[in-house]
Chains A and B, each alone.
Chain A
Amino acid sequence: DGGITQSPKYLFRKEGQNVTLSCEQNLNHDAMYWYRQDPGQGLRLIYYSQIVNDFQKGDIAEGYSVSREKKESFPLTVTSAQKNPTAFYLCAGSPTAATNEKLFFGSGTQLSVL
């Protein structure tokens, strides 16, 4: 069973706590992305990575951090600096960091604040 795998499906964060959302892929994709989805809003780009050991800030990177130590893995950490973290988080990949590529999405992680 291949694709983009996100875990956990549901995650709860306490005040002042950092939490990490997992994203793993076995599609051999070079590019990976993290989006945040709030009700009634579109997807907003948090971070993206074109290649291993490289990543760039998206439109709403404040309060988040990522790493790309392996091609298969692109974890997202929601830090305590993110004051409104409750949202649905989506990880995606594309074969290359080039135009006209479609994105393949994971099934998402719902993060809520306790």
Chain B
Amino acid sequence: SQQGEEDPQALSIQEGENATMNCSYKTSINNLQWYRQNSGRGLVHLILIRSNEREKHSGRLRVTLDTSKKSSSLLITASRAADTASYFCATEGGSYIPTFGRGTSLIVHP
């Protein structure tokens, strides 16, 4: 089954800086989703971008999708200590069930 792969695996920044995470995938998709997971908790849906969209915004989040390069990026602007979490991309292709990558662990230092 296809799987998104996030890059980098770990990211450490200072509060106020921007955080960028990337996701690459292998085959064509219907949509790509980003989720957030705080340590020891379930995942929370952040944003869904469809294959015919190139960019979406939600608050401090900006997601881009480049289907020609089979990649997506998640940008968190003006990061806060509370943004510390793992971030996962999930791709939905032939079936309706999202397939998750291994995640990027983000640490934001106050």
Contacts and interface: CB of A to CB of B under 8 A. Distances in A.
| Contact count band on B | 20 to 34
Interface string A77-114: 00000000000101010000111111111111010000
29 contacts: A6-B42, A33-B97, A35-B100, A42-B88, A42-B102, A42-B103, A45-B1, A45-B97, A58-B97, A59-B1, A88-B40, A90-B43, A92-B42, A92-B43, A97-B96, A98-B96, A100-B92, A101-B96, A102-B33, A102-B45, A103-B45, A103-B90, A103-B98, A105-B42, A105-B43, A106-B42, A107-B42, A108-B41, A110-B40
B33 A99 contact: no
A100 B42 contact: no
B59 to A, nearest CB: 16
Given A99-B31, A102-B33, A4 B96 contact: no
